[in-house]
Amino acid sequence: MPSYHINRQAEDMKRELTALLRDLKDPRVAGKLLTVVRVHLSGDGTSAKLYISAIEGLAAAQEAVKGLQNAAGLLRGELGRRLHLRKAPELRFIADNSIEEGAAILRTLDELHIPEAEEEEAL
């Protein structure tokens, strides 16, 4: 399969999984602010690694991944229906802390507040 097809399918999966995460009833997943950060789809489309991040931190993401692994069959079937796939890929969920790292970088940048007069001189 051409790489643009794989990339497009991975983006479609990311969009649909984000919508599906809101509907899950598992207490390990429900009520958490989860984001599908990245989807890595294999070249033949038979397996997908889904990187999940939580605003609450890495521990919350790891707990949510356990719930998502239990719901992997349900999510796989629903993805296949929504994306009209002949064979839906096997889903592997991986906890990621990129949202937490991004928030830490923003906090650091806010601490380094430069007065406006200095900003104009720097330009």
Which one is predicted more confidently, 116 or 109? 109
Q: Are strands 34-41 and 90-96 parallel, antiparallel or unpaired?
A: unpaired
Q: Average pLDDT of the chain?
A: 86
* Model pTM score: 0.78
Instruction: Answer whether residue 105 shows pLDDT above 80.
Output: yes
Using DSSP's 3-state secondary structure scheme, residue 50 falls into strand
Please tell me the least confidently modeled range out of 14-28, 84-98, 100-114. 100-114
Rounded (10°) CA dihedral 13, 78, 24, 48: -40
Q: What CATH code is assigned to 3-97?
A: 3.30.300.20
Give start and end residues of each alpha helix (H) in the chain: 3-23, 58-70, 72-83, 98-111, 116-122
pLDDT, tens only, 38-80: 999 998 889 999 999 988 888 888 999 999 999 999 999 999 9
pLDDT of res. 15: 92
Q: Are the C-beta atoms of residues 32 and 21 closer than 8 Å to each other?
A: no
> What percent of the chain has a predicted confidence (pLDDT) above 90?
37
pLDDT of res. 77: 93
* Domains of the chain, residue spans: 3-97
